[in-house]
Structure 1
């Protein structure tokens, strides 16, 4: 199913069913109270952790604009957390670009980066497409969007996320909004928004007012899956049936805890999600950049590797900024160990 670009500022007037006041998950209703937040904050400040942040400088490989422009293979680079740059069919595609120092409404407080991005916003070349999974601060970064507004040809986002983009300077004709299971093609690459089990909101009063999701990106040579954020649910198997197998998956593996287990996966669930969508090679994301939970910073990668080996899953772990060929990935390396 292909859609046309949908303007963001008047979308609620067009179709109340498509643009409701609140969006809901397909399998469960996620609710949290003030008491839940108090319990989370208490746990965050009282949990004893050996290494909440790295004790050494993480390896970061510098990326240049010329490198991205001249690349001829289908490749992926981790920028940090869930931010990635891909080169697919000769086009530069980004997912959830977050370049700010903190994943927070303000830059003087909140989770601070463990490392700098491997390329600056200013140094990036022209971007063909940016996809956004949802509106949380560690996935939708206002400063990054504003900087990329005039050097990106197209933004593809879940329903009503486009409202943020237009406020931040992205022209409406560059924005396409999609509902779950809808697709949009740009220069021969098809982008499909698929469900996740999560929620949205950037403040106290806008809970679930925008849609969230994952991305199926189907290019000429490679088909990839970008999970966004999600708890484990039956939707992964449905995505696998509809769109699998995938040459490469980028699966959320990090910032998990029993206090919010419905909306973020533990590593064993992340590996199972990769299996469910029928992935061939798995790259864990959503880790190693911000301290967003109560586990040690390196635990997600350690556990993902251990479980993937037990389950016969091919996992890769490129350093930040390291070039990785999607169809010919390099073996796993444990760069998170000093």
Structure 2
């Protein structure tokens, strides 16, 4: 591990090269196991079902209630705070600084402004209102995880962008200063102001166009905060990005677990693409493999990306967690979670008109979604 850390400190500033990566075959990145192909007929059937056979509840019937946030709320929040901003975008306050995962603030998860999956809710805080960030943590380059406009807006107020191989090159092409971009291969690590970050494997794919599939790497992340000066214990967090279920979760758990909190994808799934997105039973198993203490399901509640009902992922993972005795965190969008001592959260999606936020949340209840 020490050798890896030393190597990564030499290569993490846009110096890790895809040509040297065991995941790169000379043309594209690959998973440990080859991704099965649907074939032309299977893809056509899938597209047909996606267009015409979706659940009538794939989109909420009424606007979701969110907890609005201000910069003052965030600055006043205690250390080790988490705010879920939607989908896989999570804001963390660690080591007296702010870190954001896969920041997507766009109206649509799409290359087009007027077409594609549209948000169920506005972000609980605007890009302009966000405080300066220590870092942006990226898992891969799909449109529901990498928002070019958000990157442009955050470039001036962010110290560093941490990305898998190739994704950092996209940031450079979009005008992010090279000194701010660091990119990594699986298992490489870095340390920034005492916070240790490791890029870990996932089972997924990448691309933003027709011809660039798998030319950038996909990954998950481990964040480790050392014990604090006031006696706080070490804190470990896992962020899955997107992934199908694979043996890599057990390996990550062995190397870095146990985790205090795991943020694991739970949404936009279907039996036909289980290789790249987990069904809820696999989300739970991944959490157990990682040796997590508390599970926070992400990748749900913001975009319509599958055929299931919008609230089905949350219902299924809630039932599974109860059955297996797993502590679950399901904060409302914008609600604060105390990572040191997480309080119980409520199933807000069951009756969004009347469900109140759990005690200890930061932010005010919004009668209407906030506009961007």
TM-score, normalisation: structure 1: 0.95
Contact 2:23 2:31 in 1 (8 A): no
Distance 1:205 1:47, change over 3 A: same
Instruction: Give the equivalent residue in structure 2 for 1:22.
Output: 28
Instruction: Give the equivalent residue in structure 2 for 1:131.
Output: 137
1:121-143 alpha-carbon deviations (Å, 9 max, x no partner): 01111000111000100001111
Q: SS of the counterpart of 1:73?
A: coil
Return the offset for 1:36: 3.6
Return the offset for 1:35: 3.4
Distance 1:16 1:85, change over 3 A: closer
Return the offset for 1:62: 1.2
Return the offset for 1:68: 1.8
Distance 1:17 1:215, change over 3 A: closer
Instruction: Give the equivalent residue in structure 2 for 1:253.
Output: 266
Return the offset for 1:9: 9.7
Please show how residues 112-151 of structure 1 align to structure 2 within 5 Å. 112-151=118-157
Distance 1:89 1:205, change over 3 A: same
Instruction: Give the equivalent residue in structure 2 for 1:301.
Output: 314
Question: Which blocks of at least 5 consecutive residues in structure 2 are unaligned?
Answer: 227-233, 352-372
Contact 1:5 1:173 in 2 (8 A): no
Q: Tell me which of 250, 255, 264 is aligned to 1:242.
A: 255
Q: SS of the counterpart of 1:240?
A: helix
Contact 1:5 1:175 in 2 (8 A): no
Question: Which blocks of at least 5 consecutive residues in structure 1 are unaligned?
Answer: none
Given the alignment of the two structures, is residue 173 of structure 1 paired with residue 179 of structure 2, yes or no? yes
Instruction: Give the equivalent residue in structure 2 for 1:334.
Output: 347
Instruction: Give the equivalent residue in structure 2 for 1:228.
Output: 241
CA-based RMSD: 1.8
Q: SS of the counterpart of 1:98?
A: coil
- What is the rounded CA distance, in whole Å, between the counterparts of 2:14 and 2:166 in structure 1? 6
Given the alignment of the two structures, is residue 46 of structure 1 paired with residue 52 of structure 2, yes or no? yes
The alignment covers a number of residue pairs equal to 337
Instruction: Give the equivalent residue in structure 2 for 1:311.
Output: 324
Deviates more, 1:82-91 or 1:112-121: 82-91
- What is the rounded CA distance, in whole Å, between the counterparts of 1:141 and 1:29 in structure 2? 25
Given the alignment of the two structures, is residue 289 of structure 1 paired with residue 302 of structure 2, yes or no? yes
TM-score, normalisation: structure 2: 0.87
- What is the rounded CA distance, in whole Å, between the counterparts of 1:3 and 1:74 in structure 2? 25
Return the offset for 1:33: 4.0
Contact 2:95 2:193 in 1 (8 A): no
Return the offset for 1:5: 5.8
Given the alignment of the two structures, is residue 216 of structure 1 paired with residue 222 of structure 2, yes or no? yes
1:156-197 alpha-carbon deviations (Å, 9 max, x no partner): 100011111012121111111111011011111011011011
Instruction: Give the equivalent residue in structure 2 for 1:266.
Output: 279
Contact 1:282 1:313 in 2 (8 A): yes
Q: Tell me which of 83, 87, 104 is aligned to 2:110.
A: 104
Contact 1:200 1:212 in 2 (8 A): yes
1:73-125 alpha-carbon deviations (Å, 9 max, x no partner): 20111110111000012110100000000000111100000000000001111
